[in-house]
Structure 1
Amino acid sequence: MGASAKIRVTPKVMGRLRLASQGLLGGFNSVEECVSAMGAMQAQDLASAFWAVGQRVSGAGLSKVLEALENGTVVRSWPMRGTLHLVPPQDLRWILAITTDRSMRSVATRHRELGIGEADIATCRDLALERVAGSPGMTREELFKIFEAAGQTTSAQRGIHLLWILCQNAWLVQGPPAGAAGKALGQQLFVSFDEWIPESKVLDRGEGIAEFLLRYLRSHGPATLSDFAWWTQIPKAEVRAAHEAIRGQLVELVFRGTSYWLSPATAALLDDGVPGSRTVLALPGFDEFLLGYTDRSLVLPAEHFQKVVPGGNGVFKRMIVSGGQVVGTWSRSGTGSGGTGRGPGVELEPFTPEGLAPAARRSFELQAAKYLRFMAS
């Protein structure tokens, strides 16, 4: 199927195409391959991010994903939208070079309210770099104590904003999990960016936006340019210019009068029927399958949105996905097996009163078991 082809599709296949693009119908061979292909993966909640990777990497357990974070082959930072993501370490510097200025402008008023000026930033930068240099890293609390001793208050979120600024400017980065191999999936140590990531890929702004856009559309397609502009907060004019440079490597689908873009490999699935019509998945909250788009209605009908994001409070519940559509939510029911009759250690909350069909329920029980094995391995 040529890259210039225009293909019209029905709504029911759009979600399954996204499953295929995101590695949820086949998967990647390693944690590093997964994160690199996705470009960035939502990681505000670390446990959810690890399971998002686990669902895309064949045979991976929690220990394998933790190992990537501990070894620095994957890093967690704030590359865009002021939100933590997993990113390839070699790409973080050029991504920040694209996004940091706009991110800083978006919180300028808040920083003025907190009394954060250039001199404060310079003081905290020098203190932090002096203390983390050559060390395994320091926790957030340890750095806060150092800032406080120098007269830099860290209350009222001022401390976390200061650390965010140091990471945005590629002076610090979050490194290995703190504690016993991060088993509690809590905090990470802050380390020197240059020491933790000694080699970075070099791209100028135009090249970087084009690379980021291409990676996004390949891994999230079918998606729109507006989806990417929202995802990264890169101005639409620059997104459109980048698209002109890479559109020959993509396929266009027209849906309801809007152009969606995806890789030729994913578009080729349309020739013989898009797989995944019977696939049932237990996805984490905050998964890119839903969160990675400005318009989520293709896979989650508007009438059910509040069931995934109650009150629109920004907290996304774990999702049951069937045939490429979100059909319910799920939660842990404990650390053991059984107890509910609804799968080992998992509670289902389907959107409809009739619930999942028997075959879909059996498939979900296998997913629940897979999740529990992942968390224990």
Structure 2
Amino acid sequence: MGSRYIGVAERRDRLAVRHRLAAGARAAGPEEVARSLVALHGTDPATVYVGVGARLAEPGGTVRETERALYEDRTLVRMHGMRNTVFVFPSSLTAVVHASTGIAVAARARAALVKDMAKAGAPDAAWLAEVEASALAALARRGQATAAELAQDEPRLRERFAYAAGKDYEGVHTVSSRLLRVLGVEGKVVRGRPLGSWTSTQFRWALAPEHPELDVAGAQAELLRRWLEVCGPATEADLKWWTGWRVTEVRRALAAIGAREVTVDEGTAYVTEGDEDPVTGPAEPWAALLPALDPTAMGWQGRDWYLAPGLRAALFDRSGNVGPTVWWNGRVIGGWAQRADGAVVWRVLDPEGVPSEAEAAVAERAAALRAWLGAGRVTPRFRTPLEKELCGNP
């Protein structure tokens, strides 16, 4: 008997329920959202809050509750993860993320820093180790601090060195900017409370919470299992892209968790053991406005089953970052933006069109988002063609 075929309709049903987007599947708090999605993209701070708010049954307290989870209870942690990207993870998952993805990325990041400093004639690795130890000690004393504040305690953090001299992207880095990033990837520091509002990109730093050192292969199996529970079925290409691992690591993890083969339109895909049976979809049609870099829109490398190829030019920037998206019943139908006056505007791009009930549902979600944002203004860190056009900046 061949593997079971999971079609587009069922994949969209799984997405609606498991990604907490259908009305009956919404979550009670930010920790529940993060556990359900495994990781929230954290490169753009606003993504975390707007993405959480889109999935809560009662989104009114999203900012307050998410800040509590991130900066008071520390049940959520902002740290580097897959593909050397900043995410927000449940704190219970930090050891798994560090062992499965962080160690290898960290080794490359530190080697690159030492190499770049040597090329620039900057001090050697022993000097860097002294500065690092001093900076971590200062951070322990302060609790949280900006790079500038740490440099008051350890002035060598202000040292500058040239980067990529002679190339079109050459520049000058401070030791602090590069070293703190390396320490973040190594799991020694994490981003703390921002200097400004919840949309601010200027973060303080804090020592990372202690966690056990896990076996790499075991951690990879655990991370892949959790992600497949949320995003399966997924192809090997999807898994390799999302994790940033080598294909041999992906295959080893699939074997370790006893993943089951199924068939999707792209070919062979995988689900976790026991997840082969058909899934019941949401009881009611649903609409959602998701932020730029949302983990649902960025969840798979193969996206044709929920995002028509013809929409990509308008909704993605040149580096492959997705902008704000409008969803109807498990597929992207357009995009949205917030103008300077606070208005939330949107446009349907789907060439097949959408029913009137979809437009009404999207309008209702846009009005709710506008009310939720209040005086807040959300401008994506990575601007996309449609978002800029909707804002009046073609």
Q: TM-score interval w.r.t. the shorter chain? A: 0.7 to 0.9
What displacement does 1:171 show? Answer: 2.0
Relative contact order, higher structure (CA 8 A, sep 6+): 1
What displacement does 1:118 show? Answer: 2.9
Partner of 2:335: 329
What displacement does 1:316 show? Answer: 2.1
Query: CA contact under 8 A between 1:276 and 1:324: conserved in structure 2?
Result: no
Q: Are residues 1:78 and 2:68 paired?
A: no
What displacement does 1:230 show? Answer: 1.7
Partner of 1:342: none
What displacement does 1:23 show? Answer: 2.1
Q: Secondary structure at the match of 1:96?
A: helix
| Runs of 5+ unmatched residues, structure 2 | 162-170, 377-394
Query: Hey, what's the Cα distance between the residues in 2 that align with 1:178 and 1:192?
Result: 17
Partner of 2:189: 172
Q: Which moved more, 1:326-335 or 1:254-263?
A: 254-263
Query: Hey, what's the Cα distance between the residues in 1 that align with 2:283 and 2:212?
Result: 36
State which of 99, 102, 108 in structure 2 corresponds to 1:100: 102
Partner of 2:267: 258
TM-score by structure 1 length?
A: 0.83
Partner of 1:34: 33
Provide, for residues 34-69 of structure 1, a one-character-per-residue CA deviation record: whole Å limited to 9, x for no partner: 223322221110101211122223223222112211
What displacement does 1:104 show? Answer: 3.8
Per the alignment, do residues 33 and 352 of structure 1 end up closer, same or farther by CA in structure 2, a change over 3 Å counting?
closer
Partner of 2:201: 186
Partner of 1:112: 115
Runs of 4+ aligned residues of structure 1 deviating over 6 Å after TM superposition are none
Query: Hey, what's the Cα distance between the residues in 1 that align with 2:271 and 2:372?
Result: 30
Q: Could you tell me which amino acid in structure 2 is paired with residue 163 of structure 1?
A: L
Provide, for residues 309-329 of structure 1, a one-character-per-residue CA deviation record: whole Å limited to 9, x for no partner: 13x234421001112111111
TM-score by structure 2 length?
A: 0.79
Provide, for residues 189-215 of structure 1, a one-character-per-residue CA deviation record: whole Å limited to 9, x for no partner: 20112xxx24x3553222211110011
Query: CA contact under 8 A between 1:226 and 1:294: conserved in structure 2?
Result: yes
Partner of 1:142: 149
What displacement does 1:368 show? Answer: 1.3
Query: CA contact under 8 A between 2:95 and 2:214: conserved in structure 1?
Result: no
Query: CA contact under 8 A between 1:62 and 1:374: conserved in structure 2?
Result: no
Q: Are residues 1:361 and 2:359 paired?
A: yes
Query: CA contact under 8 A between 1:70 and 1:177: conserved in structure 2?
Result: no
Per the alignment, do residues 288 and 69 of structure 1 end up closer, same or farther by CA in structure 2, a change over 3 Å counting?
same
Query: Hey, what's the Cα distance between the residues in 2 that align with 1:128 and 1:285?
Result: 34
Query: Hey, what's the Cα distance between the residues in 2 that align with 1:139 and 1:185?
Result: 13
Per the alignment, do residues 184 and 22 of structure 1 end up closer, same or farther by CA in structure 2, a change over 3 Å counting?
closer
| Runs of 5+ unmatched residues, structure 1 | 337-344
Query: Hey, what's the Cα distance between the residues in 2 that align with 1:7 and 1:302?
Result: 26
Query: Hey, what's the Cα distance between the residues in 2 that align with 1:266 and 1:59?
Result: 30
Alignment length, in residue pairs? 355
Q: Secondary structure at the match of 1:234?
A: coil
Q: Which moved more, 1:87-96 or 1:212-221?
A: 87-96
Per the alignment, do residues 223 and 119 of structure 1 end up closer, same or farther by CA in structure 2, a change over 3 Å counting?
same
Q: Could you tell me which amino acid in structure 1 is paired with residue 172 of structure 2?
A: A
Q: Could you tell me which amino acid in structure 2 is paired with residue 156 of structure 1?
A: V
Provide, for residues 111-169 of structure 1, a one-character-per-residue CA deviation record: whole Å limited to 9, x for no partner: 62354853354233223212111423102333356565456327734443211111122
Q: Are residues 1:8 and 2:5 paired?
A: yes
Query: CA contact under 8 A between 1:269 and 1:275: conserved in structure 2?
Result: no
Q: Are residues 1:161 and 2:148 paired?
A: no
Q: Are residues 1:371 and 2:369 paired?
A: yes
Partner of 2:379: none
Query: Hey, what's the Cα distance between the residues in 2 that align with 1:89 and 1:289?
Result: 21
Q: Could you tell me which amino acid in structure 2 is paired with residue 185 of structure 1?
A: S
RMSD: 3.0
Per the alignment, do residues 157 and 40 of structure 1 end up closer, same or farther by CA in structure 2, a change over 3 Å counting?
farther
